Chain A
Amino acid sequence: MNLTPWLPFEWVVAFRFLKEGRIQTAFIITGISIGVAVIVFMSALLTGMQANFVNRVLTGQAHIQLLVHKEVVRPLYSEPGVFESHTLQMPLQRFKSIDQWQSVAVEVARIPEVNVVSPAISGSALLTRGEASRSVSVIGMIPEPYFKIIPLPEKMVHGQALVTSESILIGTELATDMGVGIGDKLRISTGNGSVNTLNVTGIFDLGNKGANSRNVFVAFRTAQSMFGLIGGASVLDLTLHDVYAAETVARQIERQTGLQADSWIKTNEQFFTAVKAQTTANTAIRLFVALSVGFGIASVLVVSVVQRSREIGILRAMGITRGQVLRVFLLQGGLLGFAGALVGASMGGAALVLWQKFQRNADGTVMFALTFDTQLLVQTLVLASLTGLLAAFAPALRAARLDPVVAIRG
């Protein structure tokens, strides 16, 4: 018995019809495969590229920073709507602590989207050694929570991320500029006249030249003392579970706490716009490829319905229902989509492997990690099959509605 006993009637007929028109079937599967391969390759490439960019941007910064609002001048009114003076002078921005930062940190940590909250002191200082001096951005932090936001231990190229009251961590560029190595001392002075001498215990590379020459890390209490902010914190750094929710969560926190909340999306607006433009372009490419795949399947099935109209007529004369005829052609669309997606996903995977093998940085390292997501594979298979079913609907309906008398007469 050649007919498969466990396959329903419609499946057997659909398979046989596709097998019989094998050249037509092979051509359309090739067409679908190329489309699916493009989708798989482009998606993995763009996802990898975006993840790499976002990772690079977020390596050296928190997802959200909570700060005290800048001081503003309030004009004096002589009467409603009339200023006493038209000359307003911008005030000097005093270095201030977040009021009740401990309770704010607890309140913010309760927000489900928030992953880590870390207090910090952030200010500018002058670093000197002999005749060399550099202005730097000092970040005083508590290692345990802060390293969950910026994984400094992973970024160390010399020494270790050891933060004590007398230690300082500096970037590779700054170390070169100042001519220091591990164990050397640096004088650090702030605007309020405080001067400290600290030991270099670690040299890091954040993957960004600017950050490596500008940022230094000291202990939280050391920074409090340096900037005269005993018991205070000028910044609360936050990370979230979903980096792309940063702006929404920042606005929520701003409403909740009254503090200024700057998300990484806002501070890197141009970069984020580029990421969004890439995503939109990728979606558009997917849509147009899916459309061309769908129309390809539909056109093949329309031809098949015309070619098989007499067979459809005789099947109907044998007592086969309109529903069965409809399912036979829908299945053909689904099977073409599925088979094309299977081959296309393999082709896309192979293209990714080749891309990673041949596209390298100047130093021979991988440009960025590309992962072949199994979820993407499943999504592709399901979506391609659904596209096939959808594309087959019109030809299938046409087949089901064929008048058997007209069909047999041809």
Chain B
Amino acid sequence: MTAPGSLPAITWRGLVLPAKRPIPIPDGRLLPGVTLVEGPSGSGKSLFLRVLATLATPRSGRVAYFWKGAGDEPLVFPGTAPDDLARIRARIGYVPEAGRVLQGMRSGSALHYLAAVRAVPEPRKAVAEALTFWGLAETASQPLDQLSGGQWRRWLLAQSWLVRPALWILDEPARGLDHEGTALLRSVLEAYSAAASAGDPVWAVVVDSEGRVADLAGEHLVLAP
């Protein structure tokens, strides 16, 4: 699959999500900018995001990304070689919907650890910037499981921004986020829109059932129940 014309796009064809009840997704594409994924509960919004993030393998179908692999072939998932899969993942930032992990690990340490796992070239700098930018500097020494709900959401956003993702995938990012955090999130989403308008191949794909950032979306993708 390739993007039609010269427009940079992430496209999918024949996609069936791997839920208990298979969920077919109509063929489509994501143009650069902010896209809101909508649909009723059970329509597969979160699962669709996980497939886009290469974290869940669809029952059938493929996602074709804008970027090229080592052999100058379009990168696809599933079905790509491990190195090419790593090339996709290196460009993705993912904010999951919920969950708490690694009790006892400190907020800053967890970011350092993830920076190492994600092979961030300048990990110290990236972590320091992420902590400061998302207003978490004072919580760096605080265990993850002691963060407040809003701080936890900020931490999830911060970890996703360690790599400055070209494809930013956000599952309910504003749920539980405080006002300043929401303002920052909106700023960054606006920046994605601005960068996309300037011709840069960057995407932000958002599920936002509370509608706190929905107005920033340039495109809407509606999944049927």
* Chain A complexes with chain B: no
Using CB atoms and an 8 Å cutoff, list the residues of chain B in contact with chain A.
none
Using CB atoms and an 8 Å cutoff, list the residues of chain A in contact with chain B.
none
